[in-house]
Amino acid sequence: MVLPNNITLKQGKLIIFSAPSGAGKTTIVKHLLGKYPDKIAFSISATTRTQRGQEVNNHDYYFISTPSFLHKVAKHEFVEFEEVYAGTFYGTLKSEIERIWATGKHVIFDIDVEGGLRLKKKFEQNALAIFVQPPSIEVLQQRLVGRGTDSKEKLAERFAKAEKELSYAPQFDTVLNNFDLEIACKQAEDLLLEFLG
């Protein structure tokens, strides 16, 4: 969904990690946050989905009701948002980016593929969009099943979405192959430091 261009945010930098669910982007982002806490801070997404497992509100996500989410959409409070799965919305609040920039840090995102591309389009050269490529669709499916957090129906939905999302890789600034997590984390560090200068 396209948002109005009259967004006035102080220009800082954004590092965007996108991938199908299970590709390892969250693990890589957590690694970078642990290594460079003085440079970057995590953008917490808003979502209408229910909390899973050990997730904490206002830390992992801002969990809000669908009516509240749609009210914020109507008030143009999101930089980007999407109905990722039927009836389940995710989005990035303008106030979240402003909160991080106010601390003098750059913003790092762990975000779905379409949301990542929207952020890149909006912030252009101030954003680095990285697509995390899993070893194969089969490995991705094994990782998602291994989590044990989703029903069979939700897994089928995730598999179908993942196949579509893999086709978006060429639209990103760079593709980070996550065939070996240690190597992928090191390459992510290099990308981050080069981009931040």
In the chain, the domains with their CATH numbers are 14-196 (3.40.50.300)
- What share of the chain has pLDDT > 70, as a percent? 93
pLDDT at residue number 13: 96
Q: Whole-model pTM?
A: 0.85
CA end-to-end span of the chain: 32
> 61 - beta bridge partners?
45, 57
The token pair at 38 is 């003085």
pLDDT of residue 8 exceeding 60: no
Considering only CA atoms, which of 90, 91, 180 is closest in space to residue 133? 180
The reported pLDDT for the residue numbered 10 is 53
- What mean pLDDT do residues 85-92 have? 91
> What dihedral do alpha carbons 134, 137, 138, 141 form, nearest 10°?
90
Taking residues 101-120, what's their average pLDDT? Answer: 94
